[in-house]
Amino acid sequence: MRRSTVILVGLATLVVAVVGLDLLRPEASPARLPTLPRLIPPGTVATLTLDRAGTTYEFRKAAGAWMAVGSTEPLPVPAADLLDGLGRELAPLYAFRRVEAALPPAEAGLDPPRFGVVLTLTTGETFVLRLGDPTPEPGGTFLQVADREGIFVVSSTIADRVSRLLGPPA
């Protein structure tokens, strides 16, 4: 073997050893990376109930089409697409973060909430959500989940979709 080949193989081995040792450090372990809080498990949304200022709208998905409860007609495509998108955003639902500071719900727009959302998965699990104001940092909305402590920050696209379906809050 030529000397340059031996040197290249030696350098490659050294690089692999250094990278390998770096990955074995405890602080580099994927188990130590922060994980986003999961608020709703993966699933298929069967029904959505949306509330704005006491006015409630109920939707169900049957045979692949969204319908307003009490109607036998499928919703127009734009509304159905918004409901499909909302369903994909909500199941699974991960929070960007939990609000650590003692933030009163009223200051986050959660008492009363801008929007209420009740969703039922095809498994029968039901989740009650309260959507609040946009967060000071762009792209977030405050959210509370019934039967769960704390206030969370989730994607603002959830409130945007609800607002497009129902119109902006009063």
DSSP 8-state secondary structure symbol assigned to residue 27: G
pTM across the whole model? 0.76
Percent of the chain scored above 70 by pLDDT? Answer: 79
- Range 139-142 contact pairs with CB under 8 angstroms and sequence separation of 24 or more: 140/96, 142/99, 142/103, 142/108, 142/109, 142/110
Please tell me the CATH code under which domain 38-166 is placed: 2.60.40
Q: What is the residue-averaged pLDDT of the chain?
A: 84
Q: Where are the domains of the chain?
A: 3-32, 38-166
pLDDT tens, residue by residue, 150-161: 999 999 999 999
pLDDT tens, residue by residue, 135-150: 999 999 999 999 999 9
